[in-house]
Amino acid sequence: MGVKLYRVILPVSDIKKASMFYSTLLGMKGVRVSAGRHYFNCGGTILACYDAKADGDDVKFSPNPEHIYISTSDIKHLYNIARTLKCKKIDNKIGIMPWGERCFYLTDPFGNKLCI
């Protein structure tokens, strides 16, 4: 029996703005699957922007409390794109972690924390 990570939910307060933000950041359109859900297939794991209100769900919006990690083969390209977006926070530069990974941290317009 094998398992894999299938979907990660990103709570958002505006599905239209979220789909535009993540389409630009990830370089893909994704697909709207309901009034409040927009999916991005990231290497077999779906990054799902979820606007509970737009979907008609009685769930209070709150961003993920911890970082979601996204890998890319061209970190400079994604960093340059992220710098043009309306992130709440973004690192001043790409850093190198003690274990050798190159990355940068950002907070999306909805308060979700990401590491690229």
Task: Give me the residue spans of the domains in the chain.
Answer: 7-115
Give yes or no for a contact between 36 and 57, defined as CB atoms under 8 angstroms apart: yes
pLDDT digits (tens, 9 = 90+) for 44-53: 999 999 999 9
Mean pLDDT, rounded, of the chain: 96
Domain 7-115: which topology?
2,3-Dihydroxybiphenyl 1,2-Dioxygenase; domain 1 (3.10.180)
Q: How far is CA 110 from CA 35, 38, 47, 76, 82, in A?
A: 18, 15, 15, 23, 14
What CA–CA distances, in Å, run from 50 to 21, 72, 103? Answer: 13, 23, 25
Q: Which residues partner with 107 through β-bridges? A: 89, 113
- Residues paired with residue 105 on neighbouring β-strands, in sequence order: 115
State pLDDT tens for residues 4-16.
999 999 999 999 9
How would residue 1 be classed by pLDDT, with cut points 50, 70 and 90? confident
